[in-house]
Amino acid sequence: MSRKPAAITRSKTARKAPVPADESIRVPAAGEGKRGEHGYLGYLLRQAHAAVRLTMERTLADLGVTSPQFAVLTMLNAYPGLSGADVARLTFLTPQTVGVIIRNLERDGAILMTPHPVHGRIQQWTLTPRGSTLLKACRDRVIALEKRLANGLDAKAEASIRRWLANLATELQDDRA
């Protein structure tokens, strides 16, 4: 394979002079500049997600549950009998991550595996009574966080935001096909 000519690989923009060490650049706080109302929607969604996830991690820490584990427990409660692959799709986690989470939750007695009645190689997962109790303790805390998220919104505004987020996910998912 031949190399690209230097004219193609060489940067065409002039390099900026380095900022002297005594002059620091102030990074805007959340809500300021491009991290505020004038930022890109995708960035703002990611910023909000990161803040919610960090808060959730701190909220659940003393229960020994991570945000991904909470997501897995929640989906298995809503849809008992899911396979690990199904759980991965629903929780936006990789199959490898879900495999580790499932092994840990099974070891802790929170979930139970049963073979699929027709396709014996498929493992189906359900919550145990211990898993249901753990999920309830987590859910009580997460509901408080959900209330913080909806603080200042009336029911109509909250429903509108929920509808917008759900529609956005549906529309963008259609782009993957």
Residue spans per domain, the chain: 38-149
Residue 123: pLDDT over 90: no
Question: pLDDT grade, residue 8 (50/70/90)?
Answer: low
pTM summary value: 0.77
* 18 band by pLDDT with thresholds 50, 70 and 90: low
Contact in structure between 127 and 135 (CB atoms under 8 Å)? yes
Give CA torsion, residues 158, 143, 68, 118, to 10 deg.
Answer: -90
CB 69 within 8 A of CB 110: no
pLDDT at 21: 61
* Least trusted range by pLDDT, from 5-9, 56-60, 104-108, 111-115: 5-9
38-149 topology per CATH = Arc Repressor Mutant, subunit A (1.10.10)
Band of pLDDT at residue 24, cut at 50, 70 and 90: confident
pLDDT in tens, 127-141: 999 999 999 999 999
How much of the chain exceeds pLDDT 70, in percent?
A: 85
Rounded CA separation 68/120 (Å): 27
Q: What integer pLDDT is reported at residue 28 of this predicted model?
A: 84
pLDDT (mean) for 56-64: 96
Tell me which DSSP letter residue 111 carries: E
Q: Is 105 in contact with 82 (CB distance < 8 Å)?
A: no
Within 8 A by CB and 6+ apart from 57, the residues are 66, 67
What separation in angstroms does the CA of 55 have from each of 32, 50, 79, 136? 20, 9, 26, 18
With 70 as the cut, is the pLDDT of residue 122 above it?
Answer: yes
